[in-house]
């Protein structure tokens, strides 16, 4: 049975302390950064890490590695490692990101409905500006990718009186959706969107899925919101569409290169609202993910991987 676990990340000490209480037979090593992880990794058979914090040298220095438990829903960076052996089990962390992802989506939804920048400028100028307000009611949210996060978001959209359309090849109906179209009808769905919200994982098949043809299909009043992965959106085509006025704007939390390079034109575009890949983050994240970590580690160390949740097929 595995006996040593390495946890890498800024909150590694928190996870190590909590997990040690729940699983006293395991030894947990906390590492805040890459150098500390390399110094402590040699005997660890389990690695707990966020997907974007992994690097090839760390895997090379872990000859006993048998399990990577991601602290994130996405595992694309981990799967992309050229030296990750097939003998290493990979598990994702899913099923609890709905609240924080939905709230971020609503920051973007409300910004492009009410214009936060103008509201703050009005306050700063001490200017009384009592004008009619745009509403979310009766607007259409098209959500690309219909999983548990999309269900949570769709439920909140319905509370605001919105129409919800999903795009998925895996489901034909889901709670809180008025309709679900297959991916082959993505452009047809995009043409209905006041807000096109991307929640689909990044895979080889979804790379640049939201590209020129999608932007051409959207209304000039339509807004793109990407809270999934940067690789799903063709950023060059997005920039062209924004400059040409083919779409009204974009709310972006994720990018192909992160951190977003300072020279990216997206930073200075007045119709773009940028956040720094915070969609899955919350001050309660440790409490949210802890039951899954305990459950998966307990099953894996007991030699019962079939009882683990969210194993990623590679």
Q: What is the pLDDT of residues 275-305, one digit of tens each?
A: 999 999 999 999 999 999 999 999 999 999 9
Q: Measured in whole angstroms, how far is the alpha carbon of residue 45 from the centre of its chain?
A: 27
User: 137-140: long-range contacts (C-beta < 8 A, 24 or more apart)?
Assistant: 137/161, 137/162, 138/162, 138/163, 139/113, 139/163, 139/194, 139/195, 140/164, 140/165, 140/192, 140/193, 140/194, 140/195
Number of H helices, E strands in the chain: 11, 12
Find the catalytic residue in 139, 277, 309, 314. 277
The answer to whether residue 228 scores a pLDDT higher than 80 is: yes
For residue 127, indicate whether it is catalytic. no
Its pTM surpasses 0.85: yes
Q: Please tell me the predicted confidence (pLDDT) of residue 204.
A: 92
What confidence tier does 235 reach under pLDDT thresholds 50, 70, 90? Answer: very high
Find the catalytic residue in 229, 248, 298, 314. 229
For residue 77, indicate whether it is catalytic. no
| pLDDT tens-digit readout, 244-268 | 999 999 999 999 999 999 999 999 9
Q: Taking all residues of the chain, what is their mean pLDDT, rounded to a whole number?
A: 96
**Which domains are delineated in the chain?**
4-95+282-307 (3.40.50.720), 98-274 (3.40.50.720)
Q: What are phi and psi of 91, to 5 degrees?
A: -125, 140
Q: What are phi and psi of 4, to 5 degrees?
A: -125, 135
Residues in the chain, overall count: 314
Average pLDDT over residues 152-178: 97
Give the tokens for residue 181: 């179209």
CA distance 184 to 167: 9
| pLDDT tens-digit readout, 67-82 | 999 999 989 999 999 9
What confidence tier does 313 reach under pLDDT thresholds 50, 70, 90? Answer: confident
| pLDDT tens-digit readout, 166-194 | 999 999 999 999 999 999 999 999 999 99
In sequence order, the 6+-apart residues with CB closer than 8 A to the CB of 4 are 26, 27, 28, 29, 43, 44, 45, 46, 64
Q: Please tell me the predicted confidence (pLDDT) of residue 280.
A: 93
Q: Please tell me the predicted confidence (pLDDT) of residue 1.
A: 55
The answer to whether residue 2 scores a pLDDT higher than 70 is: no
Q: Please tell me the predicted confidence (pLDDT) of residue 3.
A: 86
Average pLDDT over residues 32-48: 97
């Amino acid at each position: 049975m595995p006996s040593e676990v390495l946890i890498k990340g800024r909150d590694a000490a928190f996870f190590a302390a909590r997990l040690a209480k729940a699983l006293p037979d395991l030894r947990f090593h906390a590492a805040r950064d890459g150098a500390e992880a390399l110094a402590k990794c040699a005997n660890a058979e389990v690695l707990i890490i966020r997907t974007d914090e992994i690097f090839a040298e760390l895997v090379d220095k872990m000859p006993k590695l048998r399990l990577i438990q991601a602290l994130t829903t996405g595992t694309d960076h981990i799967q992309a490692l050229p030296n990750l052996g097939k003998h290493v089990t990979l598990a994702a962390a899913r099923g609890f990101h709905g609240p924080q992802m939905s709230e971020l989506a609503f920051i973007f939804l409300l910004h492009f409905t009410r214009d936060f920048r103008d509201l703050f400028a009005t306050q700063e100028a001490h200017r009384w500006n009592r004008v009619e307000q745009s509403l979310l009611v009766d607007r259409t949210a098209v959500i690309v990718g219909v999983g548990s996060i999309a269900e949570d978001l769709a439920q909140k959209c319905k509370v605001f009186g919105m129409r919800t359309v999903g795009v998925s090849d895996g489901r034909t109906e889901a709670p809180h959706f008025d309709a679900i179209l297959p991916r082959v009808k993505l452009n047809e769905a995009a043409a209905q969107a006041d807000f096109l919200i991307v929640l689909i994982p990044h895979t080889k098949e979804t790379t640049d899925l939201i590209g020129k043809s999608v932007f051409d299909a959207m209304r000039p009043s339509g807004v793109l919101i990407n809270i999934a992965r940067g690789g799903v959106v063709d950023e060059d085509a997005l920039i062209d569409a924004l400059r040409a006025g083919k779409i009204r704007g974009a709310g972006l939390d994720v990018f192909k290169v992160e951190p977003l390079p300072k020279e990216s034109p997206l930073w200075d575009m007045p119709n773009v609202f940028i956040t720094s890949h915070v969609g899955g983050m919350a001050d309660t994240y440790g409490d949210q993910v802890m039951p899954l970590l305990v459950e998966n580690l307990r099953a894996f160390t007991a030699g019962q991987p079939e009882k683990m949740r969210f194993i990623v097929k590679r």
